[in-house]
């Protein structure tokens, strides 16, 4: 037995292993060095990524705070002139416009989007799959396209720019975002809960309302708040449709002012005072947006905790 | 029949009745859901139709020249979108060339290298920045990148290449390169967030297997981690590209709104989206229609890129 083994040619696998080991040992120094360099490059890239982003946050806070005052937040804008170039006034009506446009768009979008989310989570028909794909693609479309849409179907028939057109554009922007988030939340509810409800004799409408919706509520609310945050920062659709207003406008049928649009207009102003004030507008906007997106996390976390 | 039995049979029939009801009276609910889906489907159709319909006069009048024409003059025409298409692709390309390597490296660093504490901080920072409105990025570009570009980067690069393409020529501040840089910073959070997601689902067995065979960390990254997350990474890149192609306000703020084929990376330009944003306000008649044609091109391009991105990210999640 042993004799036959000895007479066999040397095992190719063993030979190969030895070769590999030798090479690995020989190249170890070089490979370790290369790896160190590579890892240093990764860390350098991380730093490179953080520097501009950190600079942006720092600039926003520093320049924003220096142009924000109580007056700035609650008064109306004034037009700077050659005589008084610093007369920029406040942004009160832009805050008001943003809250009204975003809020009403949310009110329109939420019921539609939540029902749409329910439909998508309960249905596996071909139509539902198609709609789901279209909705996913819509979340990635440039928002300015919705401006063109709202212009054609709201501004043109009404013959005037209006907050309403902005509400329509932002609502259509928000529905796919909220629907996607709530579909995920509804799908995350264990099917045993639904089945238990149905087994007790409840209608599926009752199960949806009494079981699925409450169980998925944290996810739905997170989706809603994040979409509100996203819509609040949108400038492009508003630029095409809401016009401009220097006054408090409580009726969405009239032209309105909004923070992102004001920041955009101020940034290209001929007056240095307005260009500087653009940072104040931007900071106010970012604070509102962060309020919503951090709020969504808090809500979700708290509700999850209460469940347990 | 005693009263107890009567009660019992009553209860039974009530249950039967309820079961019958729950089967039938659920119809309103079903129809409510279907109706909502149908309604929003109709909204989408109307949305696409509105763009098509507004663009139609320009398409009929100018035909394919809208895509291939080399000059774009707002107000009077001719309306040739080739310069806009070139600038759109060029700015996106610049953004990707910078953001993809930096973003991938950052997500590898965040996942495998930096201490756990920084990891959470990095993730929070990324999410925070993804929520910052684009007008803020544009503002930052105007105030911070323009001085850096004019005082440092352009003289340095022009010193290397002389007055030739791609870095020569005068630089007034706004430029295609500036727009590309701003875009790269804007899509960085997207790319980091998504590539981190897809890299984090690479099985740790593979990583540990590689390390135990004696591979160094860089070898494991380049030969194990990145290849197995490949599909998802392409998805992340495509999503970033989609965002860059369609970004409107930040680009409109920094590119100079000058529809021309750039003779240098430091020359001004205009993208599809930025042109719609800056010219729509004054547009009348045929310009409005030509702008809607730009919107149509933008819609087709971004829808295609996004559909590809979704396919890739979904495939990546299903494959692992």
Residue A273: pLDDT band by 50, 70, 90 thresholds? confident
CA distance B285 to chain A (A): 13
pLDDT at A74: 84
Average pLDDT over residues A89-114: 94
- Whether residue B306 and residue A59 make contact (CB cut-off 8 A), yes or no, is no
Mean pLDDT of A139-160: 92
Helices assigned H by DSSP within A140-271: 144-150, 156-158, 163-187, 191-199, 204-207, 213-232, 236-241, 259-267
When scoring B139, B285, B295 by the number of chain A Cβ atoms within 10 A, the one with the most, hence best to mutate, is B139
Question: Rounded CA gap, B90 and B274, in Å?
Answer: 14
* More confident site: B63 or A85: B63
Distance to chain A for B51, nearest Cα, Å = 6
Residue A24 within a domain: no
pLDDT of residue A151: 93
**CATH code for the domain in which residue A265 is found:** 1.10.3720.10
CA distance B150 to B147: 5
Is A56 within the bounds of a domain?
no
Assess contact for B192 and B106: CB atoms under 8 A.
Answer: yes
Does the residue A181 lie in any domain? yes
With a cut of 50, which residues of chain B have pLDDT below it? 1
By residue range, what is the domain housing residue A125? 92-307
pLDDT for B319 = 63
Mean pLDDT over residues A45-72, rounded?
A: 90
Of A39, A143, A267, the CB nearest to B253: A267
pLDDT of residue B25: 63
What integer pLDDT is reported at residue B295 of this predicted model? 95
Report domain extents, chain B.
3-59, 63-319
- Identity of the residue in A59, A137, A145 whose CB atom sits nearest the CB atom of B298: A145
Give pairs for B286-289: CB < 8 Å, separation 24+: B286/B57, B286/B58, B286/B61, B286/B77, B286/B79, B287/B74, B287/B75, B287/B77, B287/B79, B288/B54, B289/B54, B289/B55, B289/B56, B289/B57, B289/B58, B289/B61
Q: Is the pLDDT of residue A163 over 90?
A: yes
Cβ of B218 within 8 Å of Cβ of A235? The answer is: no
CA distance A235 to chain B (A): 7
Q: What pLDDT band is residue A308 in, cutting at 50, 70 and 90? A: low
**Count of CB pairs separated by less than 8 Å, A with B:** 250
Provide the pLDDT confidence category of residue A180 given band limits of 50, 70 and 90: very high
pLDDT of residue A236: 93
CB B48 within 8 A of CB B36: no
C-alpha to C-alpha distance for B33 and B21, rounded to whole angstroms? 19
Fold of B63-319: MetI-like fold (1.10.3720)
Lowest mean pLDDT among A3-7, A51-55, A172-176, B7-11: A3-7
Contact A219, A300 (CB under 8 A): yes
pLDDT, chain A, mean: 89
- A134 or A83, greater pLDDT: A134
Domain count, chain A: 1
Identify whether A52 is part of a domain: no
Tell me which chain A residue has its CA closest to the CA of residue B106.
A46
pLDDT of residue A24: 83
CA–CA min distance B69, chain A (Å): 22
Tell which of B98, B133, B148, B302 to mutate to test the A interface (max A CBs under 10 Å).
B133
Determine, for residues A128 and B188 on separate chains, whether the beta-carbon distance falls below 8 Å: no
Tell me the pLDDT tens digit for each residue of B129-155: 888 999 999 999 999 999 888 888 887
Say if the ipTM goes beyond 0.90: no
Supply the pLDDT for residue B150: 85
- What percent of chain A is modeled with pLDDT above 90? 52
User: Inter-chain contact B221–A115, Cβ cutoff 8 Å?
Assistant: no
B138 neighbourhood in chain A, CB within 8 Å: 264, 267
**Is it the case that residue A218 has pLDDT exceeding 60?**
yes
Position A2 confidence tier, pLDDT thresholds 50, 70, 90: low
């Amino acid at each position: 037995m042993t004799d036959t083994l000895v007479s066999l040619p040397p095992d190719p696998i063993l030979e190969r292993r030895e070769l590999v080991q030798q090479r690995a040992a020989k190249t170890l120094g070089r490979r370790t060095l290369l790896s160190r360099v590579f890892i240093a490059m990764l860390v350098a890239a991380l730093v490179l990524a953080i520097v501009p982003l950190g600079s942006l946050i720092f600039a926003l806070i520093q320049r924003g705070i220096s142009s924000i005052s109580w007056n700035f937040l609650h008064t109306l804008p004034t037009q700077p002139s050659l005589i008084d170039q610093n007369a920029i006034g406040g942004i009160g009506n832009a805050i008001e416009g943003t809250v009204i446009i975003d809020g009403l768009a949310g009110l329109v979008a939420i019921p539609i989007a939540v029902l749409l989310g329910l439909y998508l989570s309960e249905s596996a028909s071909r139509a539902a799959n198609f709609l789901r794909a279209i909705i996913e693609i819509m979340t990635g479309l440039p928002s300015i396209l919705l401006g063109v849409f709202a212009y054609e179907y709201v501004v043109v028939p009404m013959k005037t720019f209006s907050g309403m057109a902005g509400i329509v554009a932002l609502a259509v922007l928000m529905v796919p975002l909220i629907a996607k988030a709530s579909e995920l939340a509804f799908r995350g509810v264990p099917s045993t809960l639904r089945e238990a409800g149905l087994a007790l004799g409840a209608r599926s409408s009752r199960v949806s309302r009494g079981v699925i919706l409450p169980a998925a509520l944290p996810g739905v609310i997170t989706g809603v708040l994040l979409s509100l945050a996203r819509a609040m920062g949108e400038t492009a659709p508003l630029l095409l449709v809401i016009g401009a207003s220097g006054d408090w406008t409580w009726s969405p049928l009239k032209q309105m002012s909004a923070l992102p649009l004001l920041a955009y207009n101020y940034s290209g102003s001929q007056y240095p005072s307005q260009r500087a004030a653009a940072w104040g507008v931007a900071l106010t906007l970012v604070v509102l947006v962060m309020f919503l997106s951090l709020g969504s996390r808090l809500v979700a976390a708290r509700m999850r905790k209460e469940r347990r | 029949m005693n009263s107890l039995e009567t009660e019992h049979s009553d209860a039974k029939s009530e249950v039967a009745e309820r079961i019958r009801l729950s089967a039938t009276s659920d119809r309103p609910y079903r129809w409510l859901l279907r109706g909502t889906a149908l309604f929003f489907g109709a909204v989408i159709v109307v949305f696409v139709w509105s763009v098509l319909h507004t663009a139609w006069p320009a398409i009929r009048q100018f035909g394919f020249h809208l895509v291939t024409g080399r000059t774009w003059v707002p107000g009077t025409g001719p309306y040739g979108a080739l310069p806009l298409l070139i600038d759109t692709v060029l700015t996106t390309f610049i953004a990707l060339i910078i953001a993809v390597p930096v973003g991938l490296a950052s997500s590898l660093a965040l996942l495998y290298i930096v201490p756990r504490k920084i990891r959470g901080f990095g993730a929070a920072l990324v999410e925070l920045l993804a929520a910052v409105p684009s007008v803020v990025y544009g503002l930052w570009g105007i105030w911070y990148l323009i001085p850096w570009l004019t005082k440092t980067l352009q003289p340095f690069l022009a010193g290397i290449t002389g007055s030739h393409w791609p870095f020569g020529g005068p630089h007034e501040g706004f430029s295609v390169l500036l727009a590309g840089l701003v875009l790269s910073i804007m899509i960085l959070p997207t790319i980091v967030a998504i590539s981190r997601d897809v890299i984090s689902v690479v099985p740790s067995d593979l990583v540990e297997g590689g390390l135990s065979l004696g591979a160094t960390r860089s070898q494991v990254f380049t030969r194990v981690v990145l290849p197995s997350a490949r599909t998802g990474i392409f998805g992340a890149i495509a999503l970033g590209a989609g965002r860059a192609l369609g970004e409107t306000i930040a680009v409109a703020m920094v590119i100079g709104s000058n529809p021309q084929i750039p003779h240098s990376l430091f020359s001004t330009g205009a993208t599809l989206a930025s042109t719609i944003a800056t010219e729509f306000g004054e547009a009348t008649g045929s310009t409005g229609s030509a702008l809607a044609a730009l919107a149509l091109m933008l819609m087709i391009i971004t829808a295609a890129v996004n559909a590809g991105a979704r396919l890739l990210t979904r495939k990546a999640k299903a494959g692992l």
